[in-house]
A and B are shown apart, each in its own frame.
Chain A
Amino acid sequence: MTGAAWLLRRLVASVAIVFAVVTFVFILIHVAPGRPCPENVDRAVCDELTRQFGLDKSLPEQYVRYLVALAHGNMGNSYANGRPVGTAIAGTIPFTLQLAGAALVLDFLLGLGLGIYQAVRVNRLPDVVLGNVTLFIYSLPTFWLALLLLLVFGEKLRWFPVGGASDPILCPVVNSLYCVVDRLWHTVLPAATLGLVGAAGTARFQRAAMLEVARQDYVRTARAKGLPERRVVLRHQLRNALLTFVTRFGLAFPFLLTGAVLIETIFAWPGMGRLAFDAILLRDYPVVTGTALIASVVVVAGNLLTDILLGLADPRLRVRATTDVEAVTA
């Protein structure tokens, strides 16, 4: 099977997964108890709203209507604020990407660096100390870490803003260099919360991968040839240990999206996670389904990208994947 055929198969499978997720979420949120009516609102008013939202129709009819609209690129309007769901989500994606991107960079740069550092000093004091520190951070609940960072660096020291994505007076929109800096400034605490926990995990994985590779013959050969240690580590050991890194990169997407729900809510970050969270509480069905759709696309795309990167990084995996597929289809 050619690479193109493999990619096509994966794309078809990805579409099927996204479709399944949307269907599952649509059904789940509609059968979940609760109605999209504000608290204490008169029942007659609530009934009228329910009718206007089309919720008096049967579930299959609502589902078919939703799919038809979706096929036309229409994800519906929010029950809570009337905005088109596509517009509402589009407004949040840059913020989620900014946060997830910053967290991802911190996660992998710090995690990779620490993992390598620990591996080359295995079982020595720095390795033991860092191992315990990363384990401690990895085991921290992210919401607790978020509140702690807010309290210390936001409220007490006042080094960073307490929540929000920008200064509401100076930078309601990004229109200057100052506002770019301001936006980054606001990103520090939420990204640090997500990124630090991720980096702690990445460091532990990377250390293990480096040590696994260190036992391989080609590493020993490189040392025996008298190559400098720095070159042995970076060229021979790290390069082969990067497969773990790439795999974690793919797995990081769901983590960042799910972690972002909590972090965005605590830090008042206007991203997709907070949009989804609020929508679930308000039973804003179109927004819930819309955010699930986009999140599943991102996760599936992330995994697809990981598979492609893995294939590029390790030709053996390409051969294995092809063989596996052929074995299954035979």
Chain B
Amino acid sequence: MQRRSFPSLTVFLVLGVAGLAACERRGGCTGANCGTIIDAAVAEPGTLLPPSSEDIVANDIGEQLFLKLADVGMSENTLGDEDFQPLLAQKWEWDGPLTLVFHLDPRARWHDGQPVTAADVEFTFNAYNDSVVASPYRPKLHRIASVTQRDSLTAVFRFREQYPEMFYDAVYHMRILPAHKLRPVPRDQWRTAPFGREPVGDGPYRFVRWQPAQSIELVADSTFFLGRPAIRRLIWRFTPNLQVAVQQVIADQADVREQLVTPENVERVRAAKQLAVYTYRGNVYTFLSFNQRAPDDTTKPHPIFADREVRRALAMAVDRASMLKSALGDLAKVPPGPMSALLWIWDPDIRQLPYDTAQANRVLNARGWRDHDGDGVRDKDGQPLAFHILFPTTSVLRRQYALLLQEQFRAIGVRAEIDAVEGAVVNQRVGTGKYDTAILSRANDPSPSSGIAQSWTRAGFGGSNFGRYYNAEFERLVDRAVTATTRDRARPTWRAAMETLNADAPGIFLYALDNYAAVHKRVDNVQFRPDSWAALLRTWRIPPDKLIDRDRVER
């Protein structure tokens, strides 16, 4: 008898297994609700419990699992309540200047079948406000005095004061939580509670599974009271590396990459036949923060940056437009102040310090910073005009900008040394004021009020105003702007406030990225709401004639 040789046996086995595998791949779904979307996400959430997590992916998934009472519309108008879209709340009314009454939609159900009630709304507010829960959203709710239930479907919000964004504060920061699930869990154990990894929500999608460090899967709730989502299955696939995430989309192993970040990635995606590129306004701006307090003793002024004129000179020494062109091409804009393009106060005509190295040199000379010893670096009283630029090692873009800044400062006789450290170290050093300058990014929510106040007024001391910028006139203007009841009334005041801040140069506003997203061409009705790209995912759809294998798979 002839023995089968080893190589042919191997080939036989491989073909057999491949055959079995091919059989397994057959899928069955063929209707209008068969789509699957895989998002190539570059981070994994810590938890899906909304009050405990502020990270972007958790928020994207939270949009599908947990509803707000109402949400901002595509206009992103946060003033008043006209432009808000009802979600859990079917309707609302004002009961006096400080009382807002929400009427819940009686059809709303938790995914375990329990009705969503006003008790859930009350419970949610109390939880977000509990210091033990340590919610990052808590500071944004301080003007709401209480939330109570009038009856099972009526929740009453009482405010401490009247202001134009009362409605926005009431609905935007909180996702309503199921009291019946979370009440038994002690608040100090919420971070470790299984609920955060296996949530029961009330949104258009139900939680299916979380494979740690791999993926999170959701499935459409066919009974969702606002209408069945068109896409049947959503999967967030975690890839800790942006380049690999982009490769997954290009290689047709994922359907969405919501931010491509670099011009190279945009070009690569454009070259992929199955992908379409969408643009939408970005919500992040990046700036060089000047610390106005001495890093070794934060009670004392910084020897360089406490001087407004020196800050202005440094700002004028930087050609932001050229830097942006070389680093980001057309993917970003130079922000006209501390704002991303998401904010409606964005106005390229806001007055900014010009790029003028001659003027920068004159100012530095006038302030006594001259190169007395001929070493190419200005000095005063024996101290060189030298400082460090801090940024996280993980950001290639910020490294690029740090090098460009270093070069531009060198041209006016200023020595900047680069400090690339881990993100956690940047956070700690910036948070405790132990830095000279740092390249930082800020994400805006749709309202200019809270973000700008927190980062650039005295309210942010000890918080996000790391550089400890203060100008009484600026604060007065901000206070006035946030009380304006319409955008038209607020705009001139915001503009004046921004021009005041720009003149003080508390930082150099470097770039505000526009978002470029890659989406598989078979997906229709793609809409991105700039403050939250995934907010409208439930309206995306894949027509039956465009379904591909992964859409049809039944399990």
Write out the residue numbers on chain B whose beta carbons fall within 8 Å of the beta carbon of A52: 132, 134, 188, 191
Residues of A within 8 A of B491 (CB): none
- Decide: A169 near B233, CB < 8 A? Known: A45-B134, A161-B253, A281-B422: yes
* Residue A35, interface by CB 8 Å: yes
A150 at the interface (CB under 8 A from B): yes
Given contacts A41-B54, A268-B238, contact A34 B428 (CB under 8 A): yes
Query: Within the complex, which residue of B23, B36, B244 is in contact with A267, where a contact is CB–CB below 8 Å?
Result: B244
Residues of A close to B36: CB separation below 8 A: 169
B interface size (C-beta, 8 A): 67
Does the CB pair A45–B550 fall under 8 Å? no
Say yes or no for B493: interface residue by CB 8 A criterion. Answer: no
A163, B237: Cα distance in complex, Å = 10
Known: A169-B235, A172-B217, A268-B240. Is A48-B131 also a contact (CB below 8 A)?
yes
Q: How far is the CA of A43 from the CA of B460 in the complex (A)?
A: 10
Q: Mark B391-432, 1 if CB is under 8 A from A, else 0.
A: 000100000000000000000000000000111110111010
Chain A residues near B431: list those with CB within 8 A.
Answer: 35, 37, 43, 46
Neighbour of A151 across the interface among B47, B138, B240, B247, CB < 8 A:
B247
Given A168-B38, A266-B241, A270-B214, does the pair A43, B131 have CB atoms closer than 8 Å? no
In the complex the two chains form, what is the Cα distance from A178 to B17 in whole Å? 8
Q: Which chain A residues lie closer than 8 Å to B106 at the CB level?
A: none
- CB-based contact B428/A77 at 8 Å: no
| B543 in contact (CB, < 8 A) | no
Asked if B197 lies at the interface with its beta carbon under 8 angstroms from chain A, I say yes
Q: A151-182: contact bitstring with B at CB < 8 Å (1 yes, 0 no)? A: 10011001001111110111011001110011
Secondary structure at chain B's binding surface: helix, strand, loop or mixed? mixed
Residues from chain B with a CB closer than 8 A to the CB of A77 are 191-192
Q: A154 to B247: give the CA distance in the assembly, Å.
A: 8
Distance in angstroms from B228 CB to nearest chain A CB is 20
Number of A-B contacts (CB under 8 A): 176
- Rounded to whole Å, the gap between the CB of B367 and the closest CB of chain A is 33
A83 to B48 alpha-carbon distance, docked (Å): 13
Are the CB atoms of B46 and A274 closer together than 8 Å? no
Binds A, one of B115-123, B205-213, B318-326: B205-213
Contacts of B154 in A (CB 8 A): none
CA distance A173 to B555 in the complex (A): 11
Query: Does A49 reach chain B (CB closer than 8 Å)?
Result: yes
Cβ-neighbour of B240 out of A88, A178, A265 (below 8 A): A265
* A162 engages B248 (CB within 8 Å): yes
Q: Given A82-B196, A169-B553, A178-B21, is A162 in contact with B244 using a C-beta cutoff of 8 Å? A: yes
Q: Smallest Cβ distance from B181 to chain A, in angstroms?
A: 16
Given the complex of chains A and B, what is the CA–CA distance between A235 and B427 in angstroms?
A: 62
Contact with B along A301-315 (1 / 0, CB 8 A): 000000000000000
Whole-angstrom distance from the CB of B29 to the nearest CB of chain A? Answer: 12
Contact B20 A168 (CB under 8 A): no
Size class of the A contact interface (CB-based, 8 Å): 35 or more
Q: Report chain B residues within 8 Å CB of A82.
A: 46-47, 191-193, 196-197
Residue of B nearest to A151 (CB): B247
Whether A169 and B550, one on each chain, are in contact in the complex, defined by CB atoms closer than 8 angstroms, is yes
Which residues of chain B are within 8 angstroms of A173 by Cβ–Cβ distance? 211
**Given the complex of chains A and B, what is the CA–CA distance between A236 and B55 in angstroms?**
62
Shortest C-beta distance, A162 to chain B (Å), equals 5
* Chain A residues within an 8 Å CB radius of B191: 52, 77, 82
Q: A282 interface residue, CB < 8 Å from B?
A: yes
Closest A residue to B189 using CB positions: A82
> With an 8 A cutoff between CB atoms, is A80 at the interface?
yes
- Nearest CB of chain B from residue A50's CB, rounded to whole Å: 10
Q: Give 11 CB contacts A-B under 8 Å.
A: A33-B429, A39-B427, A42-B136, A77-B192, A81-B47, A155-B247, A168-B211, A168-B214, A177-B20, A181-B18, A268-B240
Q: B interface vs A, CB < 8 Å?
A: 17-18, 20-21, 23-25, 36, 38, 45-47, 54-55, 131-132, 134-136, 138-139, 188, 191-193, 196-197, 209, 211-215, 217, 233, 235, 237-241, 243-244, 247-248, 250-253, 394, 421-425, 427-429, 431, 442-443, 462-464, 550, 553, 555
Q: Which 3 residue pairs of A and B lie closest in terms of their CB atoms, listed nearest first?
A: A34-B424, A270-B213, A178-B24
Give me the interface of A with B, judged by CB distance under 8 Å. Answer: 32-46, 48-49, 52, 77-78, 80-83, 88, 91-92, 147, 150-151, 154-155, 158, 161-166, 168-170, 172-173, 176-178, 181-182, 265-268, 270-271, 274-275, 277-278, 281-283
